[in-house]
Structure 1
Amino acid sequence: MSESIELLSEAQEVSAAFEHLKAGERIAWLYEKYGSRVVLSSSFGLQAAVMLSLVKEHAPEMPIVWLDTGYLFPETYRYAEQLIDKLDLNVTVYQPQITPARQEALYGKLWEQGEKGHSKYGLINKVEPMARALKELQADVWVSGVRRSQSSTRKGRNFAEQQKKTLKVYPILDWADPQVSAYFYDKKLPKHPLEAEGYQTMGDWHSTNPVVEGQDAESSRFGGQKYECGLHLDSGNADFQI
């Protein structure tokens, strides 16, 4: 009598392996398995130093992609330079093909144009540059510092998921805020300067605000209309198969 064998998908295999590993071990395992197919993306936001430090320690040859929208806070640009210098990172910067000035001349302020404007903004400034980065670096495994505790849209995520043709992997998905804080302390990592001003999440200057009393982190992005920029959701755009 033959037994049916259910084969695990690639995402299921990674998720199963991660369940029994610590974050650093997950990153080392991932790079050993996939090698040059893996890239880490970073926004140099409030908690970006954690993944940058883990990758530097456990998979120093992994390429790091910085998506620079051109609309980041001045403090973010300075913070990025500080981390790059401190951790001795090899970072490749990817920017939109259309400059901020040209975008605003052609389309106006997309972030003020509701969901349709937000979607177009995300495609131009984040989705297309990331798709280009993956193509040019010949990578199809994308590592990110997404965590379940960051937002309601991330609570149900697995350690790995297939997004079109790219395998997306989240080595610190199960980390709670205290664990992040402890890592910063143990590794003596500098904090993003805007954290001290009440920011609990970080994105572009026009769509991120400090958290005020009675508000949560999710409502401090995009005027409370949404949290995700489109980079960690399926954009539905067939031109950018990431």
Structure 2
Amino acid sequence: MPTMTSSPRDSRQRISVPRAPQQLEPTPELLAELSAASASLESATPEEIITWAHERFAPYLTMATAFGPEGCVILSMLAKVAPETYVFNLDTGYQFQQTLDLRDRIAEKYGIEVDMLQPELSVPEYEALHGGPLYKTDPNQCCFDRKIKVLRQASEGKHAWMSGIRRDQSADRAQAAIVGWDKKFNLVKVSPLANWSKSDIWNRILAEDVLYNPLHDQGYPSIGCWPCTRAIGQGETDDRAGRWSGTGKTECGLHTIQESDGSGI
């Protein structure tokens, strides 16, 4: 059964992260370079894309993961080609316990410590400020405060970030480039799995015994915060049907293409 938690994660020693002396600027030269790289990497393997990103942007390359199947696959690849990459999770305080436990299992198996970045306010403080759980009345603001603002802070001192999005997941994600400029966070965004399908992901997981969230075996194809995630029912074919169910909301704002919502976990 899914285990829910709204308690802050146990405090951990902060991971030392290299910071670039200055942010990248989207100059015409850089945008042209990214466009050319994206085109050349269209037929590349995810490992080749990750290797390119590491060679071009390390040590100012990072990865954000929500510990979904795609993120776990990338972590297994990073362990082989770029294990020193800084990886973080947006720990909203509303994650399933199974998700938090997966972080520790990944560290044990792959030697990659995922930094759990939390908002300034704890869940009790945040809910007291808003007179109760904001996810019930304004889930967009809740996502903004507890995800997007944290990612903006995490992006400071970075030049590029990787995500596990796939083009076949949604209309917004269908337009994702392999490599492109993320206007929302002023970073280069790299999507190594953009061309992969759900079958590709699970074939790799099964072939290489990649760790994954056990909730996927309980009808949760897409897992976010527990208050806004449910298992999908029989006949539901959209993997994200269980996210923000009944609200019309399908994205937290990290990967939507509208500038007002955020261009891109």
Q: Fold conserved (TM > 0.5)? A: yes
C-alpha separation in 2, matches of 1:14 and 1:37: 18
TM-superposed deviation, 1:230: 1.2
Q: What's the TM-score, normalizing by structure 2?
A: 0.80
Aligned to 1:144: 163
Q: What CA deviation, in whole Å up to 9, does each residue of 1:60-97 have, x standing for no partner?
A: 12111121111001111112211121111032221111
Q: Is the 8 A contact 1:218 1:226 kept in 2?
A: no
The DSSP-based 3-state class of the residue aligned with 1:111 is helix
Farther-moved stretch of structure 1 (224-233 vs 8-17): 8-17
* Of 140, 149, 153, the match for 1:128: 149
Q: What CA deviation, in whole Å up to 9, does each residue of 1:171-199 have, x standing for no partner?
A: 11110111111111222113311011101
Aligned residue identity for 2:161: W
Aligned to 2:74: 51
Uncovered stretches (5+) of structure 2, i.e. residues with no partner: 1-27
C-alpha separation in 2, matches of 1:22 and 1:79: 26
Provide the aligned C-alpha RMSD in A: 2.1
Q: Would you say 1:76 and 2:76 are equivalent positions?
A: no
C-alpha separation in 1, matches of 2:74 and 2:195: 13
Farther-moved stretch of structure 1 (8-17 vs 153-162): 8-17
Uncovered stretches (5+) of structure 1, i.e. residues with no partner: 1-5
TM-superposed deviation, 1:12: 0.9
Point out the structure with the larger helix share: 1
Query: Do the aligned partners of residues 235 and 83 (structure 1) sit closer, same or farther apart at CA in structure 2, a change above 3 Å counting?
Result: farther
The DSSP-based 3-state class of the residue aligned with 2:35 is helix
Q: What CA deviation, in whole Å up to 9, does each residue of 1:101-128 have, x standing for no partner?
A: 1111111221111xxx222111211111
Q: Would you say 1:184 and 2:205 are equivalent positions?
A: yes
Identity between Structure 1 and Structure 2 (%): 29
* Of 214, 217, 233, the match for 2:239: 217
TM-superposed deviation, 1:161: 2.6
C-alpha separation in 2, matches of 1:214 and 1:185: 25
C-alpha separation in 1, matches of 2:75 and 2:134: 31
Query: Do the aligned partners of residues 209 and 237 (structure 1) sit closer, same or farther apart at CA in structure 2, a change above 3 Å counting?
Result: closer
C-alpha separation in 2, matches of 1:92 and 1:153: 27
Regions of 4+ moved over 6 Å: none
* Of 84, 90, 93, the match for 1:61: 84
